[in-house]
Amino acid sequence: MSMEFLVEVNGKIYEISELVKSVSYTDKLNDGCSKLEFSYIDDDLNIQNGSVVRFKFNGANIFYGYVFKHGQNKAKEITVTAYDQLRYCKAKDTIVVKNDTIDSLVRKMCNYFGLRAGSLASTGYKLPVSVQDDKTWLDIIYSAIDDTLTNTGRWYCLRDEFGSIAVRDLQDLQLDLVLGDESFAYDYEYEKSIDDDFYNQIKIVSDNEDTGKRDVYITKDSDSIAKYGLLQYFEVLDKNYNPAQAKAKADALLQLYNREVETLELKCLGDVRVRAGSSFYGQIEDISLNKRLIVKSVTHEFIPVHTMSLEVML
Amino acid sequence: MINEIKEIVKNYLNNEKLCTFMLGTVVNDGIKVSDKLTIPMELVTGNQKSSLTTGQKVRLLRNHGGQQFYILEVISE
């Protein structure tokens, strides 16, 4: 195990890997910036907000970001929280999205805040014209990602990769890695529920300009209703959908919601390649799991032994 | 705790973009509401849309969600 832990304080760079007591790195899929929390013991080195932190583990680039919080106690243990560049994108703004794609929006954002941009996958999908008034840049881009997903079926993630902002197709983030019973995992928690976000009948109401009144569209899965009881989803569409579109929307919603929600959390030995958005092959015999899974969030702990806990999408 | 809840509700409502009246001026590529925001014509509806001319001051009704703007009236030329 080798670590390289650099911090820049007042123009000087210090290597503190010998002093660090704990390091944890948290990353979430399309949900804000990634975060590095660490603590160290030292009399002389007073880290400051805004200091640059760079962390490498076994030669792999893990984190490059800026200190946003630090504190200490009587035992001279100093705790620090640092975020990556996306922290700066929480700022609100008003923009009009027109002839834009995800990558062009991200490029605008980087220019505006003076952030370093890295590899921006070109998505090729022109976003619908919209007004984004008084919204955070992150929300604007996440809603662009949602639009692109529903219209093209391609899923992208926005993240900071060691100091440069990147847009990646999740297809390109597949790892040749197996996690499960016999491979790296030492604990897991699994749950299957119909308590939240489960519906087997969809009822959609939409204004019809031709008839001058509201139309109702219902679609349902009778087998599922017999099994679980009737659970209805209701929505009034705000945009003008024509009958075919409304019907299609109801069918799509039924597809989406008519399945038991499964959640899985895994605790494994660490692998530096795993970030939110990457996918690996999951194998757990007891819950007959045998497929590729996307990481929703991950926390790496590097001291004393590199471990990680994952929340995945099933 | 109560302050956090207030903050959350405030942010939520602001994000939700409730219905409201707005004032704007017709310009070439849309309706200018503020220096930062010119509403593109694609999002403007109402049967007065086709008769708009540049320079007119209009009152708009923003629909819930903030993606549709209905022209209520032309206030002045």
For A168-199, what is each residue's pLDDT tens digit? 999 999 999 999 888 899 999 999 999 988 99
- In whole angstroms, what is the distance from residue A258 CA to residue A194 CA? 9
Partners of residue A95 in chain B, C-beta under 8 Å: 36
Q: What is the pLDDT of residue B65?
A: 86
Best of B15, B38, B62 to substitute, by most chain A Cβ atoms within 10 angstroms, is B15
Structure tokens at B8: 């959350």
Q: Residue A222: in which H helix or E strand, if any?
A: helix A222-228
Q: What is the pLDDT of residue A25?
A: 97
Q: What is the pLDDT of residue A42?
A: 85
> Quick check: A29 pLDDT over 80?
yes
> Quick check: A232 pLDDT over 90?
yes
Partners of residue A129 in chain B, C-beta under 8 Å: 40, 42-43
- In whole angstroms, what is the distance from residue A178 CA to residue A280 CA? 6
Q: What is the pLDDT of residue A212?
A: 82
Best of A92, A129, A130, A131 to substitute, by most chain B Cβ atoms within 10 angstroms, is A131
Expressed in percent and rounded to 5, the helix, strand and coil fractions of chain B are 25, 40, 35
Low-confidence ranges of chain B (pLDDT < 50): none
Q: Nearest Cβ partner of A133 from B64, B66, B68?
A: B66
Q: What is the pLDDT of residue A314?
A: 81
Q: What is the pLDDT of residue A240?
A: 67
> Quick check: A241 pLDDT over 80?
no
Distance from CA of B25 to the nearest CA of A (A): 16
Distance from CA of A95 to the nearest CA of B (A): 7
Reported ipTM: 0.84
Q: Nearest Cβ partner of B67 from A130, A134, A135?
A: A130
Say how many residues make up chain A. 314
Q: Nearest Cβ partner of A133 from B37, B63, B64?
A: B37
Residue A246: pLDDT band (50, 70, 90) is confident
Q: Once rounded to an integer, what is the mean pLDDT over residues A275-286?
A: 93
User: Looking at this protein, which amino acid is placed at residue A76?
Assistant: K
Q: Once rounded to an integer, what is the mean pLDDT over residues A107-135?
A: 93
Distances (CA, A) of B3 to A92, A136, B11: 21, 21, 12
Mean pLDDT of chain A: 92
Q: What is the pLDDT of residue B32?
A: 93
Distance from CA of B39 to the nearest CA of A (A): 7
Do β-strands B44-45 and A232-236 pair in parallel, antiparallel, or remain unpaired?
A: unpaired
Nearest CA in chain B to A139: B15
Best of A127, A133, A140 to substitute, by most chain B Cβ atoms within 10 angstroms, is A133
Q: Which residues contact residue A278 at a Cβ distance below 8 angstroms, ignoring those fewer than 6 apart?
A: A173, A174, A175, A294, A295
Distance from CA of A132 to the nearest CA of B (A): 8
> Quick check: A289 pLDDT over 80?
yes
- In whole angstroms, what is the distance from residue B69 CA to residue A170 CA? 36
Q: Do the chains contact at A96 and B40, CB–CB below 8 Å?
A: yes
Give the rounded percent of residues in chain A with a pLDDT score beyond 70. Answer: 99
**Whose CA is closest to A5, among A49, A77, A88, A65?**
A65
Range name among A86-90, A206-210, B7-11 with the lowest pLDDT average: A206-210
Using beta carbons and an 8 Å cutoff, which residues of B are at the interface with A?
Answer: 14-15, 17, 30, 34, 36-40, 42-43, 63-68
Tell me how many degrees the CA angle A198-A203-A206 measures, rounded to the nearest 5: 135
Q: What is the pLDDT of residue A239?
A: 65
Do β-strands A279-284 and A174-180 pair in parallel, antiparallel, or remain unpaired?
A: parallel
Q: Nearest Cβ partner of A129 from B37, B43, B65?
A: B43
